[in-house]
Amino acid sequence: MPQNPDEYARNATFETFGGAETLIADYRFWSVQARPKQATLGAMILLAHGPAQSFAELAPGTHAELSRITADIESVAYGRFGCAKMNYLMLMMVDPHVHFHVLPRYEARVELDGIAFDDPGWPGPPDLAAAPDAPEAAARVTAALRAAWPA
């Protein structure tokens, strides 16, 4: 049992990235959400529960759970979307709670349900401002991620 029940509670950053609407999977210490702005096909947010605003402040056990979660993330990104690489960016400059921007990377344009996704930063750093010109892109990616997520 945590010493502080807030260690496992969702934080405001969860809502910033779409809340339950973008939720793909919940784990004990983390949530995985589809990134509302799909910088690349299958872009996700890996968000720590609780108030921590630095990686070192995370509750005991939080780091250990990353092994299982990253295996789930990568099995879906490589298996469902066929990405070439994975990038995990921990920035926390605007949204303060511990989270990663998880970006599958692609050498060429890819499509999902007729929506084209580019990776204009390839092979360099990803362009987080990039997104397809399709208002339904995030909802379609969310549905595809949920359907492909390991049980």
Residues 138, 38: contact at Cβ < 8 Å?
Answer: yes
Per-chain mean pLDDT for the chain:
94
Specify the DSSP class assigned to residue 17: T
Listed residue (40, 62, 63, 56) closest to 117, CA to CA: 40
Q: For residue 101, give the H/E element and its range.
A: strand 99-105
Residues 29, 61: contact at Cβ < 8 Å?
Answer: yes
Listed residue (129, 140, 123) closest to 84, CA to CA: 123
Does residue 9 register a pLDDT over 90?
no
* pTM for this entry: 0.93
Question: What digits encode the pLDDT tens for the residues 117-143?
Answer: 999 999 999 999 999 999 999 999 999
Does residue 3 register a pLDDT over 70?
no
Mean pLDDT is lowest, of 5-19, 67-81, 116-130, for: 5-19
The C-alpha atoms of residue 48 and residue 14 are separated, in whole angstroms, by: 9
Residues 8, 2: contact at Cβ < 8 Å?
Answer: yes
pLDDT at 106: 98
Could you name the CATH architecture of 5-148?
2-Layer Sandwich (3.30)
Specify the DSSP class assigned to residue 90: -
Q: Radius of gyration (Cα) for the chain, nearest Å?
A: 15
Does residue 2 register a pLDDT over 50?
no
Q: What is the mean pLDDT of residues 85-111?
A: 96
Q: Which residues is 34 bridged to in the sheet? A: 44
- Percent of the chain predicted with pLDDT > 90: 91
Residues 31, 14: contact at Cβ < 8 Å?
Answer: yes
Q: Which residue has the tokens 């499509």?
A: 111
pLDDT at 60: 87
Per-residue pLDDT band for 4 (boundaries 50, 70, 90) equals low
Does residue 115 register a pLDDT over 70?
yes
pLDDT at 5: 57
Does residue 1 register a pLDDT over 70?
no
